[in-house]
């Protein structure tokens, strides 16, 4: 597993605050994650290869396959488990988190599965838009900040129009790519602050394009929780460890306790 954000030099791309890339792995059962919580954020699961079974405390039981989207809006708090399923020789995916704005971060949790992802073409680039809008392609997924999330397949050259008020990132998840004149190695993340009007990409491979209006709310992100203060995190952790969440009917069993808090006061960033 490779984590692109957050890190010391880059914390967010718009409201995207967490980017994990895992695989490709030849382990057929390459992922088994017992019940764990999320609060104050949305989780986005996007697969390139394999199949994952999602179960949550809302009663959801949903398989996600390549080309479809699982979007869980945690809001005031939800727990879920995930496990990869047999049937494919490889598992390859990204897990993304979106910070919820303050006015909706206490909302009732919901889960969405989107099976029909819209596509758009930009020269020799095919874009699957799973969050937001790009060109004429508009995802039906519910989001609460101006955002873009798309998988692109590159087979030559193409130019993607950008909103100059937004910041953008491109994560190379396989292949040889050049982004706006810069070679982008595998598992590397290219980032741009606001100001660009186009994304010129050449090569052959696939990538994830993330974009969004800069998210200016300071947040405290610790473990699987996003709050605004240290006390927010203390209460979220306590709620989970006291088993206040509904149980999950799954085949994983058990749960993952929240770790000890560091012996410092967590501050917003």
Does residue 30 register a pLDDT over 80?
A: no
Q: What confidence score (pLDDT) does residue 42 get?
A: 98
Q: How confident is the model at residue 163 (pLDDT cuts 50, 70, 90)?
A: very high
Phi then psi dihedrals of residue 235, to 5 deg: -70, -40
More reliable by pLDDT, 7 or 113? 113
Cut 0.95: pTM above it? yes
User: Topology of 2-212 in CATH?
Assistant: Jelly Rolls (2.60.120)
Q: What confidence score (pLDDT) does residue 86 get?
A: 79
Q: What confidence score (pLDDT) does residue 29 get?
A: 55
The full set of domain ranges for the chain reads: 2-212
pLDDT digits (tens, 9 = 90+) for 106-153: 999 999 999 999 999 999 999 999 999 999 999 999 999 999 999 999
Map residue 235 onto helix, strand or coil. Answer: helix
Q: Whose CA is closest to 13, among 163, 206, 222?
A: 163
d(CA 119, CA 108): 31
Map residue 21 onto helix, strand or coil. Answer: strand
Task: Read off the tokens for 246.
Answer: 């509904």
Q: What confidence score (pLDDT) does residue 43 get?
A: 98
- Helix ranges restricted to H, 160-252: 230-241
Q: What confidence score (pLDDT) does residue 2 get?
A: 87
d(CA 58, CA 72): 10
If you ran DSSP here, which 8-state letter would residue 256 be given? -
If you ran DSSP here, which 8-state letter would residue 41 be given? E
């Amino acid at each position: 597993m490779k984590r692109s954000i957050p890190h010391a030099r880059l914390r967010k791309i718009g409201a995207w605050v967490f980017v994990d890339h895992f695989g490709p792995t030849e382990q057929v059962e390459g992922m088994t994650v017992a019940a764990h919580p999320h609060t104050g954020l949305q989780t986005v699961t996007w697969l390139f290869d394999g199949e994952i079974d999602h179960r949550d405390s809302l009663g959801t039981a949903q398989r996600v396959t390549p080309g479809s989207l699982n979007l869980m809006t945690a809001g005031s708090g939800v727990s879920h488990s995930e496990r990869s399923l047999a049937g494919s020789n490889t598992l390859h995916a990204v897990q993304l988190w979106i910070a919820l704005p303050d006015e909706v971060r206490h909302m009732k949790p919901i889960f969405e599965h989107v099976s029909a992802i819209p596509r758009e073409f930009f020269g020799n680039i095919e874009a699957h838009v799973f969050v937001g809008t790009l060109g004429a392609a508009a995802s039906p997924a519910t989001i609460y900040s101006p955002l873009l999330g798309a998988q692109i397949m590159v087979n030559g050259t193409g130019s993607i129009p950008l909103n100059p008020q937004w910041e953008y990132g491109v994560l190379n998840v396989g292949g040889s790519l050049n982004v706006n004149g810069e070679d982008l190695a595998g598992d590397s993340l290219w980032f741009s602050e606001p100001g660009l009007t186009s994304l010129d990409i050449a090569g052959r491979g696939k990538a994830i394009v993330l974009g969004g209006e800069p998210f200016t709310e300071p947040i405290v992100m610790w473990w699987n929780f996003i709050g605004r203060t240290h006390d927010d995190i203390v209460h979220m952790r306590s709620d989970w460890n006291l088993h206040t969440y509904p149980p999950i009917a799954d085949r994983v069993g058990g749960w993952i306790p929240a770790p000890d808090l560091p012996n410092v006061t967590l501050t917003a960033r």
